[in-house]
Amino acid sequence: MRYRGRFAPSPTGPLHAGSLVAALASWLDARAHGGDWLVRIEDVDEPRCRAGAAELILGQLAACGMQPDEPVWWQSQRGDAYRAALQALVASGRAYPCSCTRSEIDAVWAERGVRHQPDAERIYPGTCRGGLHGKPARAMRLRAEGTVHWHDRRLGPQVQDVAREVGDFVLQRAGGLWAYQLAVVVDDAAQGITHVVRGEDLADNTARQILLQRALGLATPVYLHTPLVLAADGRKLSKQNGARALDLAAPVAALQEAAQVLALPRIEAQSPADWLAAAVPAWAGIITGFANGSTP
Ligand SMILES: [Zn+2]
């Protein structure tokens, strides 16, 4: 099967040093496998998207010498496909409506003596599994069953008991917005993605996505999660803790900085195209190391 990879940024702002690492790794991995590299704009969380950010990201990728092999996909145009997938999950009994507000979920846990930090993810206690009992449907959830074992090319064997550690998770949010998990799974399959290369902050989502793939009868891609760029406060670099937009006047320097995170050697080149051409064989050496158990 021909390798098909993708970079799938959320247009919440321009690329920064951290997001360039994932873009570069996905591009290099596709080229090292002689495959296709696609770009998908994950603008499904509309309230968080910023006008013009997607165009800015595409311009930054182009300035760094990374051009998608096919037209860019936009998740905001994919609602019909997500709706069809949700309907199939409802028909097969895997998805169900949920009426719970966040405070109702917290109240269930409080009764059991569990308190959550305000920004912590809540494990869904399964309140609406047995029906809504006359309450209005707010969200749609997947009935999460079973422990998922999966393999990451860099991190090695992974396991998550989704039912216990996450609970039945949201497919369509209150207000109608599509959840990231459903959109990613539907689009990866529709685009024929064979290999997912993305930042390690998303590794924790993989088991949920594999459960969804199985529920929809879709193939599971091969996964590789790349190291994160950390901010001065030790957390993942993001716009919230001071990440600056890439300096497009110096794309080779930006690529070199991203390459360091991926443990690539220093590459001397005048243009992004020359730099990338030299980086492909270096990346092929890195991924051989992953297969032999070395993790940067
Ligand atoms: Zn509920």
As assigned by CATH, the class of the 79-147+161-175 domain is: alpha beta
Under the banding of pLDDT at 50, 70 and 90, the label for residue 294 is low
140 C-alpha vs ligand 1 centroid, how far in Å?
9
Domain range list for the chain? 4-77+230-291, 79-147+161-175
The predicted model scores a pTM of: 0.93
Is residue 59's pLDDT more than 60? yes
State yes or no: pLDDT of 296 exceeds 70.
Answer: no
pLDDT by residue (tens digit) across 143-195?
999 899 999 999 999 999 999 999 999 999 999 999 999 999 999 999 999 99
| Ligand 1 center–CA 175 separation, angstroms | 15
| Interval between CA 194 and ligand 1 midpoint (Å) | 34
Which pLDDT value is given to residue 295?
60
pLDDT of residue 62: 97
pLDDT of residue 121: 79
Q: Ligand 1 centre and the CA of 144: distance in Å?
A: 14
Cα 87 to ligand 1 centre (Å): 18
Q: Would you say residue 293 has pLDDT above 80? A: no
Q: Tens digit of pLDDT for each residue in 239-252?
A: 777 677 788 889 99
Does the domain formed by 4-77+230-291 have CATH 3.30.70.1430?
Answer: no
Sign of CA dihedral 188, 18, 229, 253: positive
What is the tens place of the pLDDT at every residue in 113-129?
888 777 777 899 999 99
Percent of the chain with pLDDT over 70: 98
pLDDT at 234: 78
CA 124 to chain centre: 21
Mean pLDDT of 88-104: 96
* Distance in Å, CA 138 to ligand 1 centroid: 8
Same topology, domains 4-77+230-291 and 79-147+161-175? Answer is: no
Sorted by sequence, the CB contacts under 8 Å of residue 197 that are 6+ apart come out as: 5, 22, 25, 26, 29, 224, 225, 226
**Cα(162) to centroid(ligand 1), Å:** 17
Ligand 1 centroid from CA 131, angstroms: 9
- To the nearest whole percent, how much of the chain has pLDDT over 90? 79
In the predicted structure, residue 259 carries a pLDDT above the cut 60: yes
Question: Ligand 1 centroid to 115 CA: how many Å?
Answer: 18
Q: What's the CA-to-centroid distance between 72 and ligand 1, angstroms? A: 36
Distances 286 to 22, 29, 217 between C-alpha atoms, Å = 15, 10, 33
> How much distance in Å is there from the Cα of 74 to the middle of ligand 1?
30
